[in-house]
Amino acid sequence: MDERLQKQLDFILEIDKEKNIFRQTHLSGHGRNENDAEHAWHMAIMAYLLQEYSNEKIDVARVMLMCLIHDVVEIDAGDTYAYDAEGLKTQKAREEAAKERLYSMLPEDQKANLVTIFDEFEERKTPEAKFARALDNLQPLILNNSNDGGDWKNHDVTAKQVYGRQSRTREGSEKLFEVTDKILKENIAKGNLRQE
């Protein structure tokens, strides 16, 4: 087997480990914790289905790829819960080291391409990145809402914390932020999100 194909196959096998990285979010219907691969797949499908709600014209294939690769780094870095103040302090450094190790497994041209797409997602400056980040906010919110806010209640998350994170959704989609705002208001009214 030639070296290029071997590198590609090695990377493909390595990213299978993403299925073992469990998130704080639970599957709908009060299921088990969701894993990173399920989260990425769900976001990619959402990108295709909801693309008409992007604030700007987007390359949906690029958004879908962004969704699929954005958490691959968590194979090494681990999942950092959105409301974990201590974990967030070291998240960037852990993910940068993971990005270098994991994407370096690939042939140089593919490494460069995926690193560019990963960095674009992180920087959230392009229409594609803004929309992908909106989906990254919306996806766990939808699951948590389906579970009566269970993850928020378990972690004693406040409405202010969730609004702080979700406010950036509007950068990618005003329409999806409207949905988010409605869901959050319903959960506050039900007592699923604590008011400070």
Q: What is the CATH number of the domain that holds 17?
A: 1.10.3210.10
**Per-residue confidence at 179, pLDDT binned at 50, 70, 90?**
very high
pTM: 0.96
Is the residue at 36 inside a domain? Answer: yes
Integer Cα distance of 172 and 132 in angstroms: 8
Is the residue at 53 inside a domain? Answer: yes
Position 196 scores a pLDDT of: 76
Q: Which domain holds residue 104?
A: 3-190
Mean pLDDT of 58-78: 98
Strand segments (E) across 33-129: 33-35
Q: What is the pLDDT of residues 118-146, one digit of tens each?
A: 999 999 999 999 999 999 999 999 999 99
Can you give the three-state secondary structure of 111-156, one letter per residue? HHHHHHHHHHHHHCCCHHHHHHHHHHHHHHHHHHHHCCCHHHHHCC
Is the residue at 129 inside a domain? Answer: yes
Is the residue at 195 inside a domain? Answer: no
Position 1 scores a pLDDT of: 85
- For the chain, the domain total comes to 1
Neighbours of 121 (CB within 10 A): 22
Mean pLDDT of 27-41: 96
Q: Which residues contact 62 (CB under 8 A, 6 or more apart)?
A: 117, 128
